[in-house]
Structure 1
């Protein structure tokens, strides 16, 4: 490791920004060029050495990272500096550079490198001469040689050659060349001699000429190959660090608290505060914001192909003056208060009529029609998902309600097996259907569903919807703020998720939970199910009465919906043109009748439709009820207008529509006095008018 890492800056303002970003990190020192005048990399090196001598610092191994550029070609990160561009693992380019340099031979002396280029080479092959200056080069062809510095050397020691000449961007046609990596090392005796040099010049141009005139021994260490991570333009930034959605649109969204409404693709959005308002960008449009002074923001909108350096745009926008005025405390405050978590919450659903008609292959042959409502439970939206970034590339799945967690450390752990009895299967299936590739980013995925298991309230599908919505958001926008959820896309992926898990299921649960209020959901026959959602505008007076008469009771009877599903689909497939077809048609007609009754405020007809629905459920599968359920129904039937079990039936929640508000009070007392099991209880609920949302 290095005793000290010096990061150079072009001026005091840039240095202040670097110091703010390095605050709390040990062994770092930021130095600006003297007099706020560009000193060049050689001048900055001499200034660093003089500072060490003046401060009498005891340093054995020193690293100097030259970061004095103004990032004109990458305005998205000009305020921060390219050295601090965040990589996919959450670390900055500078952190990666320091890690790479620490792998070089641990010889005492000074190592110099570029602060915006990550070299990828075999550090074990590098040798540093005991005295003088050693450059590091790799073998490459003329295409790369024409773009960089080239060493001309004689072999004397294997892997370590004496330098005869150093050429900048030579006009070469063929052959192999010793191409400069930008890494240079010299001993402290040479560093002492350099103190007398002027604070000016380029270490990759003037300094080699000085060395060739016998200033100090000059060698080059040669490695077989070297790759570089370097961002030279906005297009390169997009190419190297963007997220690509399933429609092929590429984005970079970093430290954005303003809501994102639409991105057309090829967009870079950085450091945009909430005060900007909704972000809408066409293809190729980019946006970055600079905090100026105490409370001002300068919002810079530009095109992905704009060259601020060559086209004079830097001067047109007076960015040199604005960069000096950037308030780095405000910038870091923005970056530290966002980008930590994506939260999604969702209500449950109650089905009033038409269930089973939404399930393949029934809906594919007949089309589906379901009347359902999104509801909160006990004053809460019970389904919640949180996603946090991790420092490493692993994926941790955490269930709050189960108190369990598992760590995914390979692609096969996501994709190889989907056992629905495994508690983590749903999240792994969601990762699979959203196309998450292991190793692209590390995540903590935290799920919770504060509802009894086997509730019949669509919990599994709704949790799947919430996980998928959160994962798609992270995949496209990172951890930026957004209100955009494509309900159709999420709903379709939940169908795929349930097929992958082998549980089956229709579209009712996810669409009923994700969309607000009471609604009728319909689809036409066909393999591709497009679900139409029509919210039912129930008169306020009627909705109030409906709420006062409604009771939601957990029976304490637990069942797995997939077992009921298999029996119902088996019955349908054995009788596709007979009784089953007639029943499905009756289910759909009944849903339309119930929706019409609610629109008119006709609660009595609505109640009769619920009773018809319960009757038809039992005809489709006798397992929809049992003796304990029937006993409970008999207890409260005299005071009820309608009764049904939610979802597939067989247990879970019972929905009761009392004959009056006072009858509802009586029913609650009866149920509380006669619980069939220890977990049986009345739960409060309310119609939810929001649906799925980011929090």
Structure 2
């Protein structure tokens, strides 16, 4: 990259940064007025809508006064006449006069019409006399009809897209670039007016501009004479002022006239001119009465800002030559009379030549130039952050696209440019085409074609079609001569919908574009365009593209916190409705749709900052599991109590590898892999469930842990099992899951007990284990209840059915969680528990083949340490699940890695390598800390640190953050040594070793 390019790149970035600062700090120097000129009221209406839109979205400085001035009475008065009209507007505004030309800051995007705005002036006469004093005024002449790029006629070339994303995430336009590029100029002048041409983008550094004197200053850039021959060139006099204007001279002529410097460069006219307050007052003196205004601002004179206002300011200019300068319109008596007055008013002033270098300009000229710029020419401007693909779902590099949705099954030819369009599958676009503002649904567009859609004021649509190289000023269309200039040829059919208009125009193309009685021309369609429809259509497409980009990221399970940045922190009600509507239609029992649904809700929670969408995400997960879990659930009226009493006691479990991979939705989308073991404490199975017959027609539930007991005679009370603070929630869920009572249907408790043959008593307890132990007691207790109830009913139950009943219980209770806990306590020994990716999890349990010697070594070296504290895991589950659903890369990586470690753990144990197993346990501990920093704390870290020299491996039990810890002792170290060390450090605080044994 050259030094010149680096300079422009940094200047561009500096201007963008400065503009952002101005938006948030109104005390910085800025423009007092920004005035756009338009060719007619319809175009002005479109411009006002664009400015209102930007004010609404905080894209423009609020303290600036914005106005759009069409040529008076719809007459083409020239750029000079338009400038005089601006001066009159500012003068009248200073006098407190109301005007429809102003763009109110409280305007709401709608039909684009500006509302009147009240202006108050305490002394209107005095204010008007000093209207320009201390004011910084930016005028952008943008009143052309864009004949050479007709697709921008309606919206105005000034609001044509620029292929870069603004800091607020929106696509830029030439107007936005003007505001950014020129924001620094306001601080480089005391007061006055900067006049620019609306079809040229200047790239420069405002620090090279200084204008504090009288008269005018022309902004020029340095370019080689070979380029200058195609443009206007300034010739500098000895005082550094503009001596003369040279229009499209040959390189030889430029040399002869002294316009070429020693480097072979010339000073190119950028169309940007600064004028002092004195000069503005002199100009205003030409129109300070209605009669004077009418004489200067009319179609007959059609004054040119550049030919009529600037020429008299050149030091070498003469009145005789001035009369001969090529006018914007025709040579007329009215023009000559105006020039005489203008000469007298302006010739006394000088025009300083400000040379900006390095600098550049980009001219948005013809359709062909536009196509080149947006495709193969894009490489010249990538240093400015310009991109060939802006706000589009397409990543195809062979063509350019902006604010367009392009189906992956659409075929777009190389070198084409698609903007503000929707291309459905089956659409074929030839090479080097420009497609703008249309919906294509399977049609074919020939190569080198422009296809542009417009909505008309009567609600109907027209699609204009012409060749990329066609000149609308000429009488030719696709190389075929026609009877009049293409600009005025009524060859385009009008239809009720954009789709019908596309088809009709393509048929007209096939028929050779005959003139149609009810057809419309480029010119008339521009004049009759519904300009208020342009922004809503662009917004709708922008929403569509962003939604599709989000869905693509969702389907790829990308990081959603990055994916939602496409909305740049803003989301409108329409997008929310569309995403919610899409999510509601998705079938959560189909894995792909389930995955998409939960992530749509999660994305909405990120975008709206509303917890209700995260709740919908988690509810969807729960409901998907619940539907599968209760699919075979039914009340069994034939069930009978076969025994007087059944007692089931189960061990607890310790988790070694893969914990969290069993948690929905991860296991549903990837399957899970867990290595765990069943453990007795002090030689006992501490998890107990008791079912027994009782006389009468009641169901009695008891929790020995809490000392709670309650008799139930209402079925509705028993069916309410989702309250996490209900001491009998687990008992109730067990009755439902085992078919003792119905899930939802109403039936009396008396009838239930009558069918059972007696009343029922269900009691549970976890013997001597504190709550929040991390040993899986809640799920194992659920398993004990299911086993006890089925044994009481005399029913056989496979291990898989048992696991599913417990999983069903947990979903009925709304506790969430995975499946490893219940399997850990229900299946004996050390085992690998796995599942495949599926909504309905089928759990496989494979016992590890561990030798007697290895099991004995494990029992000698493995012990549990109680941390003296407990942790509640409900919010943790929500957090981990949320981070997984969001596609957090670290979370996804850890969930994969812990499963790999689980498999390696099994390998080491089956090989008899307890030391290798201990090292893997340490690795898992580090991964657990990455997954959840809350799994440890100062107390846990201190416990591990205090016995570091006595252990080879360490790990938490369950979610950690409290409860039990597990360690592998070094060979030769005894449990008593560990207990002694803990007592020395923690004394009687409750931190102690618990004796345990692995269940074979």
The alignment's TM-score, normalised by the length of structure 1, stands at 0.49
Structure ranking higher in helix proportion: 2
Report 1 or 2 for greater relative contact order, CA contacts < 8 Å, sequence distance ≥ 6: 1
The alignment's TM-score, normalised by the length of structure 2, stands at 0.34
Larger radius of gyration: 2
Structure ranking higher in strand proportion: 1
